[in-house]
Amino acid sequence: MKLHDFFRSGTSHRLRIALNLKGIGYEQIAVDLRQEAHLRPEFKAINPQQLVPALDIGDAILTQTPAIIEWLEEQFPDPALLPPGRLDRAHVRALAAVVGCDIHPVNNRRILEALRHRFAADDAAINAWCGTWIAAGFDAYEALREAHGAGGRFSFGDAPTLADAYLVPQIESARRFKVDLGRWPMLARIETHCLELDAFEKAAPAAQPDAA
C-alpha cells in the first residue's frame, strides 16, 4: 500500500494509527501542504478533492478517512477497531464523529487559510476560532465517554478503538492551537494510555519522515 499523506494532517495521523494498530505496512509518499503540493495536477489525478490522505491499495485509490478505515476494518478484521456489540459500535462511531464531523472540519487547513486570507484573521484569532470548536467537542466527548465508554483505559474499554484513532490526533492539534487541555483530564489519561502503544507513537507527526 502507498499512503499519500502529510505529517501534520490530522486525517493522515488518524489513518496512520489505524494502519499501525492493524499491523499493515505501507509506503509513505509525502504531500507537502506547506508547498501547496496537494493543489498540483499530479495529486489531483490521485484525489480529485485534493485532500490528504489517499491510500493506494494497488487496484484502487481510497480517499476520506472514515471510508478508508471502514474498508480496513472489513478487509483486515483482526484486531478489530470496533467492539462486537451493535450498540457499542454505535457509541464508538459517535465518539469518532465528534472529532471527524464536528471538530476537525471547521478547523482544517483550507478553512483556516480562508479565515486568514479572506477575513484577515491573525494567529490569535485563528487560535480562538479553533479553541471554540475543540472545547465544545471535547466537552461532549468526555460526557459521552463517561456515559457509554464502558470504563477502561481507552475511549471504550481496555483496548484501542476507532475513537482513539480520531481522538489522539485532535489532542495533538489542540496543543498546536494553544488550547489548555487541563479542562479534560479524562482525555489526557486516554491519550497517555494510547501513547504507550507503538502504533500511536510511530504515527505521531514528529515521527514522520517529512516532519523535518
pTM: 0.96
Closest CA relative to residue 82, chosen from 159, 140, 16, 13? 159
Per-position pLDDT tens, the chain of length 212: 999 999 999 999 999 999 999 999 999 999 999 999 999 999 999 999 999 999 999 999 999 999 999 999 999 999 999 999 999 999 999 999 999 999 999 999 999 999 999 999 999 999 999 999 999 999 999 999 999 988 899 999 999 999 999 999 999 999 999 999 999 999 999 999 999 999 999 999 999 999 97
Closest CA relative to residue 207, chosen from 2, 26, 54, 16? 16
pLDDT at 212: 76
Cα angle 8, 14, 17; round to 5: 110
Q: Which domains does the chain have, with CATH numbers?
A: 2-79 (3.40.30.10), 86-200 (1.20.1050.10)
Label residue 60 left, alpha or beta by phi (over 0 means left) and psi (-120 to 50 means alpha).
Answer: beta
53 preceded by cis ω (within 30°)? yes
